[in-house]
């Protein structure tokens, strides 16, 4: 029986950081979408800009936070190279905004309403979290329960955000 080759630690770290950044971006996108439901007469292009700007802001904040952590790692040189490296590593935060922005683009060209575009964005976000959980569990060669636990842990926060936002619209 032949075992599959395991990724090198550097390659594995890059993949894991990419998924972690993507999950961060999806949850940030879900929060932005929830806030947009509260806006009266929302234009699709405005909603697209808010979602994209929110993910870009989280991307930059994540990079800044990682640079602050360099101090704990004993780093004493210039943070400029590491800053650019972190921007590249955490790019999936911004990528996470693409599916919801595309859902809102459908509203911008009047294929559906802005509300439907927001719903599409939420659904795609939750599906992205499920995919991230499946991918993480499978990459770790986890048992079925292990894979399921990753799906649950990565999806539940997104569902909670969507649920809290739905409740806030009824109050």
Per-residue model confidence (pLDDT) at position 147: 96
Per-residue model confidence (pLDDT) at position 52: 92
pLDDT tens for the chain, 171 residues: list them. Answer: 444 444 444 445 557 888 888 898 898 889 888 888 878 889 999 999 999 999 999 999 988 888 888 766 776 778 888 889 989 999 999 999 999 999 999 999 999 999 999 999 999 999 999 999 999 999 999 999 999 999 999 999 999 998 988 887 777
Per-residue model confidence (pLDDT) at position 1: 46
Per-residue model confidence (pLDDT) at position 111: 97
Q: What's the pTM value of the predicted model, to 2 decimals?
A: 0.80
CB 148 within 8 A of CB 116: no
Per-residue model confidence (pLDDT) at position 5: 44
Per-residue model confidence (pLDDT) at position 156: 95
Q: What is the signed CA dihedral for 158, 159, 160, 164, rounded to 10 degrees? A: 110
Of 96, 94, 85, 95, nearest in space to 13 by CA: 85
Per-residue model confidence (pLDDT) at position 13: 55
Per-residue model confidence (pLDDT) at position 118: 93
Q: Could you write out the DSSP letters of every residue in 18-80?
A: HHHHHHHHHHHHHHHHHHHTTSTT--HHHHHHHHHHHHHHHHHHHHHHHHHHGGGGT--S-SH
Cα 151 to Cα 3, 123, 126, 135, distances in angstroms: 25, 15, 10, 9
Per-residue model confidence (pLDDT) at position 9: 46
Q: What ranges make up the beta strands (E) of the chain?
A: none
Burial pattern 100-119, b for ≥16 Cβ within 10 A else e, equals: bbebbebbbeeeeebeebbb
Per-residue model confidence (pLDDT) at position 20: 87
């Amino acid at each position: 029986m032949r075992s599959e080759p395991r990724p090198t630690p550097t390659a594995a770290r890059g993949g894991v950081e990419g998924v972690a950044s993507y999950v961060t971006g999806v949850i940030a996108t879900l929060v932005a979408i929830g806030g947009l439901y509260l806006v009266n007469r929302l234009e699709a292009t405005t909603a697209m800009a808010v979602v994209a700007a929110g993910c870009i802001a989280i991307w930059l904040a994540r990079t800044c936070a990682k640079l602050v952590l360099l101090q704990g790692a004993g780093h004493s040189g210039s943070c400029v190279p590491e800053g650019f490296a972190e921007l590249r590593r955490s790019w999936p935060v911004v990528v996470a905004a693409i599916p919801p922005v595309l859902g809102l683009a459908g509203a911008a060209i009047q294929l559906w309403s802005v509300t439907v575009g927001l719903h599409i964005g939420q659904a795609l976000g939750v599906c992205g979290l499920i995919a991230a959980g499946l991918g993480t569990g499978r990459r770790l060669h986890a048992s079925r329960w292990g894979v399921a636990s990753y799906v649950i842990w990565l999806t539940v926060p997104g569902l909670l955000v969507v649920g809290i936002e739905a409740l806030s619209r009824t109050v």
